[in-house]
Amino acid sequence: MSGMIDKDINRIRQWTPVDEDLDGIDANVREVAVQTRKNFGFGVDYTRCEVWSDPEGVDVYADVPYLPDGNGSTAQGKAHCLDVYLPHDARLRGGCSLPVIVDIHGGGFVYGYKDLNRNFGTNLAAQGFVVFSLGYRLAPTVDFVGQLADVLQGLNWVKNHLADYPADPDAIFIAGDSAGATLAEYAISVLKSSEMANAFGFGGGTDVPVPDIDPKGAVFFSGLFDVDGLVHYEGDTSILPYLDAMGGTFFDSTVERVPADMLTARGLAASGLMPPTLLTTSSDDFLEHESLFFAGHLRRNGVVCEIYDLVPEKGLTLGHIFPVGQTWLPESLSVLQEIKRFVYGLIPPHFHTTT
């Protein structure tokens, strides 16, 4: 496997930085970061990309800058770009009728460009959505608050450019997988609460304005919802041990700013900030318990919540974020169809009345 990685490293750089964003990082931290990225998914994603493809009838606008330094040729620039995926027929018809899904990729906060989710995003668009897939900077070059700031800047761009696409400005949904779900849930809390925005240092006269977006729902895949379990972990290892190896400061500014109860899935569910939510996981997902517990907390607090916890057939596997990484599976197609049912069930039909 290491030989394959070395031989085809430039191909891997298409969906994740390897080391090109680590200039100026402490040598020991840099080594851990590179090794983590290699262990995290190079081999799996390299194999999967052989069967990734964009469905017919979907337009792709790739590497659109959402900040002035955004471009597709450097790691920093790539982080500050987004992709847009939408059905070509909807563009031809015009109007602003399609619901919007803003997708935030996962990767344990340390791995992946938005390109890692392109195959998922284009297949999602084929179901009848305008999809904005956001990039953001990765650890160890930035901490959690910095990543969330990038997401907010991407959402600002989306808000300001919705009229350029056949998108319904009143039907915006936020999606995320794995660590992207963590960023998504906190982005939602900031969008819905000035107190949370102020706690993170966003909005007002800051460099990170908070767009006027009221998410109609959330769609999470294999999410990591309980940050408290990471920031206060006292054992020798954690679910993301490399974040400690990278200096142990990734969540420090989050803890300093955000109320303690908002670091927990229980507290977020009880906050009244979460919109109707669709959760997907599987019985062989190492984060299955996170989705199960979060669903329970949401339902206990009266939040509309659906959860799909699939069990693979014997001898097969679904695993972590299977609808995102393995879109060709029949189970993944079923999830895409469920997303359409869930989202379209939360938005009213469009009527045009003449007098």
Residue 286 structure tokens: 């190492």
28-31 — which CB contacts under 8 Å span 24+ positions? 29/140, 29/245, 29/246, 29/247, 30/140
Q: Domains of the chain by range and CATH?
A: 2-344 (3.40.50.1820)
- Residue with the larger pLDDT of the pair 295 and 72: 295
User: Structure pTM?
Assistant: 0.95
Q: Is the pLDDT of residue 346 over 80?
A: yes
pLDDT of residue 86: 96
Is pLDDT of 352 > 70? no
| Top-confidence residue, 6 or 342 | 342
Helix (H, G, I), strand (E, B) or coil at 141: coil
pLDDT tens, residue by residue, 166-207: 999 999 999 999 999 999 999 999 999 999 999 999 998 899
pLDDT of amino acid 255: 87
pLDDT of residue 233: 60
pLDDT of residue 43: 81
Pairing of strands 81-87, 98-104: unpaired
Q: Please give the pLDDT value at position 236.
A: 53
pLDDT, tens only, 98-156: 999 999 999 999 999 999 999 999 999 999 999 999 999 999 999 999 999 999 999 99
CA angle 253–257–261, rounded 5-degree value: 115
Cite the active site residues: 178
Q: For 255-310, how does the pLDDT look when each residue is reduced to its tens digit (9 = 90+)?
A: 888 999 999 999 999 999 999 999 999 999 999 999 999 999 999 999 999 999 99
Torsion of CA 241, 247, 253, 258, to 10 degrees: 20
Reduced to 3 states, what is the DSSP secondary structure of residue 59?
A: strand
